[in-house]
Amino acid sequence: MHIQTDSAVTSRYLDEIMECEEAFERDELLERYSPALRWKVLEAWSRHDDLKVQDILTLRSPYKERLQEYVCGNPRKNLNGAGRTFVIGPDPNYEPPPSAGKVWGRALKAGPVLLQMDQRNGRRLYKPINKPVPLPAHLAITAMMNDGPSSIFRPRVGRLREYTGDEYILAVQRDAVEQAEQAQVKAEDDQAKLQKQFAKEAKRWGAQAKEMREALGDEAFFAIMGIEPPKADPPQHQGKKKGR
């Protein structure tokens, strides 16, 4: 008789959970499990590479809170957390709803999402999210809860989305290419400005030198400048034509 290990049983039930396409299906499956199995499945899910922030946020209580504790940790329950990071960034397809109004709608679409990081000396510190960035689990969950697809703030729904590892690598590569192109354009602009300034200075010094030469005369001018005066061209002698 084949006896399944505890981890094999947990893995089998976790596969069932991850095969569900809708959040309510996962809720129903978790409801059917025994409490002990339920928490083992959620703990295993917290360490799975395919876990998404949206998976956590769309579970109903108390499963959502327990999975979040397994992911982020809870010192009061002696839970260290899974040490996860999630890549969160702007959703380029975001469009503010008409209820946001024109002014706030433009601000929501154009401006970066400001994620509160900490509070120091009575001042809140924010991190702008204007490109995909890896975030610790607790910050990623906060960001998606406020501005992700399931945000409770209607105008901010969908401002952020989660990126896969491959999408993040492509975003970093695109960002590097854009920065290199911007650096090249800046270098060319700086070179053009330098050449223009040099030509302007050369023209100014040339005019001043001409005025000084006219005022002092050639001999004094070349002596002050410390350069040899140009040598005069030797006279051209024409030979006599021989008679016939």
Angle at 57 between CA 127 and CA 46, to 5 degrees: 90
Find the helix or strand (DSSP H, E) in which 216 lies. Answer: helix 165-216
pLDDT beyond 90 at 231: no
Two structure tokens written together for 96: 């503010």
- List 126's β-bridge partners, or say none: 116
The DSSP secondary-structure symbol of 229 reads P
Residues 154-212 have pLDDT tens digits of 899 999 999 999 999 999 998 889 888 888 888 888 888 888 888 888 888 888 878 88
Integer Rg of the chain from CA:
37
**The overall pTM is greater than 0.75:** no
Residues 63-108 have pLDDT tens digits of 999 999 999 999 898 888 898 999 999 999 999 888 888 888 888 8
Using CA atoms of 225, 227, 232, 233 in order, give the dihedral in degrees to the nearest 10: -130
Confidence of residue 233 (pLDDT cuts 50, 70, 90): low
Higher pLDDT, 236 or 86: 86
For residues 85 and 162, what is the distance between their CA atoms, to the nearest angstrom?
11
